[in-house]
Amino acid sequence: MRWRSLVLDRSMELKMRINHFPTTVAAANAVADRIAERLKATPNVVLGLATGATMEPVYERLVALHRAGEISFAGVTSFNLDEYVGLPPEDPRSYRATMDSQLFDLVDIDKSRTFVPDGLAADPAAFASRYEAMIREAGGIDLQLLGIGRNGHIGFNEPGADFAARTRVVDLEESTLEANSAFFDGALPPTQAMTMGIGTILESREIIVLATGATKRDAVRTALLGAVTPDCPATVLRRHANVSWWLDAESGADVAGESLAAE
């Protein structure tokens, strides 16, 4: 495994570790191992979780580590980033069902402490502020796991999203609908989602971003090297003091040489 932990320091804002791995599996396994370490050190950790193809191998390894008796989720509280509006939790394509089948039902987590935005909330604004309150009452998110959209979205905060935004319902971009149609047998997913806001995400104490595959290469380059702008929401992560990026050879191809200071 090639492991390089780098700090980009082009502006005072930039303070991020970038971990490069040769393969997707190696990157995902390393992220799972990092989460597992955290679980061992802090059994009652509050996790922020993401869904999507990128996260599948991470959850697979976490389940394997649990089955091997290495980690327990018994003390964990979790908050997922987002959920499609209009999908009931029992719909297998909902993010609640996805989390249940990929992780929650396969480990010893107390499901009453696993929270996912409610895509069917009758009053979405009221639900969203309750979701924020629940995160606060849990003590805030210790470790937030993020993927990145091809368009640079984090959670479902699409380009143009306010950096201060809180949990709310958003419209999904065409490119997001197309990318996620893979999970809907080629049909388009719901056009709206409820997502934690960028402001919510930035309050997490630590953020891990996992990006794998060639389709993420442009977004990763812009996020790490482009101007900080709502046009690429992930650029805002450069304003957070504790973010690490976990990349495979394809997603990290354009930032691999950015070794300004090795840790």
Minimum distance from residue 243 beta carbon to ligand F6R (Å)? 15
Nearest C-alpha neighbor of 154 from the set 16, 83, 50, 13? 50
Calculate the alpha carbon distances from 21 to 1, 64, 170 in Å. 6, 21, 33
The residues annotated as belonging to the active site are 82, 151, 153, 158
- CA dist 116 and 98 (Å) reads 11
Place of tokens 């976490």: 62
Calculate the alpha carbon distances from 98 to 4, 166, 248 in Å. 32, 23, 24
If one counts every other C-beta atom within 10 angstroms of the C-beta of residue 227, the result is 10
Contact 95, 54 (CB under 8 A): no
Minimum distance from residue 188 beta carbon to ligand F6R (Å)? 15
CB of 56 or CB of 259, closer to ligand F6R: 56
Strand order in the sheet with 206-211: 5-7, 16-20, 243-247, 206-211, 143-146, 46-49, 77-80, 114-115
- CA dist 31 and 45 (Å) reads 16
Minimum distance from residue 167 beta carbon to ligand F6R (Å)? 12
Minimum distance from residue 153 beta carbon to ligand F6R (Å)? 5
If one counts every other C-beta atom within 10 angstroms of the C-beta of residue 20, the result is 23
CB of 19 or CB of 195, closer to ligand F6R: 195
Region of 120 please: left (phi>0), alpha (psi -120 to 50) or beta. Answer: alpha
CB of 7 or CB of 177, closer to ligand F6R: 177
CB of 214 or CB of 260, closer to ligand F6R: 214
Nearest residue (beta carbon) to ligand F6R? 147
CB of 52 or CB of 226, closer to ligand F6R: 52
Minimum distance from residue 175 beta carbon to ligand F6R (Å)? 10
Residues that bind ligand F6R (CB under 6 A): 50-54, 81-82, 147, 149, 153-156
